[in-house]
Amino acid sequence: MPSTNPVTDFLGYTPSTTTTSAAGNSLGKDTFMKLLVAQMRQQNPMEPTDDKEMIAQMTQFSMLEQITNMATANAEIVNSSKMSQAVTLLGRTVAYLGSDGATQTGTVDQVRLVNGAPQLTVGGVEGITTSQLTEVR
């Protein structure tokens, strides 16, 4: 049965098939803004949206934007911290679990950032993640 809701018709989805943002099951700021614009377009000119309701919606949008900005900044801090911790391993001898499950040892020669995560080169073996490390000497 086709939707009769102008907001969902405008956005091209129904509530049961709502897409989610990368943050989980919440609406992203772009979707929130589309909903707000659709609501304004579809409102009855004889009964406009209450000022208090409009202020509340704009406040929610502002809060959503700030939370999104904080999450982005937090992710950048985490990535920077991971890289900094990995760099302190340069020149250190480490033990790690190899792809065969055996413990290998070697000196950390290089640290590289791959897809936002640090990867080590240990004794010429590339692609060692910090989660594979079992010991640092």
CA distance 45 to 122: 69
Joined together, the tokens standing for residue 110 give 């290089």
Cα separations (Å) of 97 from 10, 106, 123, 125, 134?
A: 53, 11, 14, 12, 7
Q: What is the pLDDT along the chain (137 residues), one digit of tens a residue?
A: 444 544 444 444 444 433 444 445 556 677 877 877 887 787 777 777 677 787 887 788 788 889 989 999 998 898 889 999 999 999 999 999 988 889 999 999 999 988 888 999 999 999 999 989 999 99
What does the pLDDT read at residue 42? 79
pTM, rounded to two decimals? 0.52
What does the pLDDT read at residue 133? 93
- DSSP code string of 45-85: TTSPPPHHHHHHHHHHHHHHHHHHHHHHHHHHHHHHHHHHH
What does the pLDDT read at residue 7? 44
Q: How many CA atoms lie within 13 A of 112 on its CB side?
A: 11
Residues of the chain with CATH 2.30.30.30: 90-136
Q: Which of 96, 112, 113 is nearest to 104 (CA)?
A: 96
CATH number of 90-136: 2.30.30.30
pLDDT digits (tens, 9 = 90+) for 95-114: 999 888 899 999 999 999 88
CB 101 within 8 A of CB 84: no
Q: Which residue has the tokens 């709502």?
A: 18
